[in-house]
Structure 1
Amino acid sequence: MVAVLILERAPRGLRGELSRWMIEPRTGVFVANLSAMVRDQLWERVQAQPPPVAAMLIVGARNEQHFEIRIHGDPSREVLDCEGLQLVRIKTQAKHKRR
């Protein structure tokens, strides 16, 4: 299943580790067709990173949108649930600094 992983403020070591499994078309953006097991193991490695590392993982799902978004840390965007649909909103500077 295709997975898109977007990292913010990630160390080079983590990016290097992810590049073994995924391609990085743009700095901090990783894309690959992964099995669920490999995807989940990579996500666990990302979640093990201390702040300020932040990440969004977008994976296929059985819902109306056919994908779901998972969040780790405090990314610059937030996911809102609007009647079962996941929408992404850019945080304002004031909100982002408070967290």
Structure 2
Amino acid sequence: MVVLATTAVPDHLRGAFSRWTTEVVSGIFTGSVSARVRDKLWEATSAVVGNGAAVLIHPAPTELGYAIRTAGTRRRIPADFNGLTFMKMTAAPPRGAIME
């Protein structure tokens, strides 16, 4: 099972997710897909997410039993600490800053 959370991504990307998963809440997709499909969806996501944000959670042979991938503009970044994954907060951009 995979969970994919998105914010401000292009509509065509959401359409691609809808072909393989169910959108349970706006921007939150879940489903059971093969590792190959999951990786292809993530490649497409990483390529076009732009100023949006995406988080993918999927099964993995880790202490927690899952892995986290992130793409796009975000304030939380996965960080490994002795085999455990924590979410590291980054500073928010200053007000009025132009995002590239």
TM-score, normalised via structure 1 length: 0.83
CA distance in 1 between partners of 2:13 and 2:56 (Å): 15
Equivalent in the alignment of 2:85: 86
Give the distance between the partners of 1:14 and 1:67, measured in 2 at CA: 23
Once the two structures are superposed, residues 11-45 of structure 1 have per-residue CA deviations (whole angstroms, 9 ceiling, x without a partner) of 22211121111101111111010001111111111
- Cα displacement (A) at 1:79: 1.9
Secondary structure in 2 matching 1:70: strand
Residue in 1 aligned with 2:93?
A: 97
What residue number does 1:64 align with?
Answer: 63
- 5+ long unaligned stretches in structure 1: none
**Partners in 2 of 1:38 and 1:83 — Cα distance?**
29
Q: TM-score, normalised by structure 2?
A: 0.82
RMSD across aligned positions (CA): 1.9
Q: CA deviation at 1:88?
A: 2.4
Cα distance between partner residues in 2 of 1:27 and 1:38? 21
Unaligned runs of 5+ in 2: none
**1:56·1:75 contact (CA, 8 Å) conserved in 2?**
no
- The residue correspondences of 1:16-35 to structure 2 (distance < 5 A) are 16-35=15-34
Any idea what SS the aligned residue of 2:40 has?
A: helix
